[in-house]
């Protein structure tokens, strides 16, 4: 049996991955809140 190779993810790669996933997520949440506020006016 061979030992599994462990690779560390760099901070820049981690930040890039989170921004790729996080920016569209935050934009969707923002649009949902804007549209929801229209219901309460």
**Burial class of residue 11, CB neighbours in 10 A (0-12, 13-18, 19+):** exposed
**Which two structure tokens, joined as six digits, stand for 24?**
């569209």
- What is the pLDDT at residue 41? 87
CA 12 to CA 5: how far, in whole Å? 21
Tell me what pLDDT residue 4 has: 73
**Among the ranges given (7-11, 14-18, 32-36), the one the predictor scored with the smallest mean pLDDT:** 7-11
Per the structure block, which two tokens stand in for 15?
Answer: 């930040």
Model confidence at 7, pLDDT cuts 50, 70, 90, reads confident
What's the chain's average pLDDT? 89
3-state secondary structure of 5: coil
Report yes or no on whether pTM surpasses 0.85: no
């Amino acid at each position: 049996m061979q030992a599994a190779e462990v690779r560390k993810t760099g901070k820049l790669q981690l930040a890039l991955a989170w921004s790729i996933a996080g920016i569209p997520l935050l934009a969707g949440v923002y649009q949902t809140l804007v549209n929801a506020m229209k219901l309460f006016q």
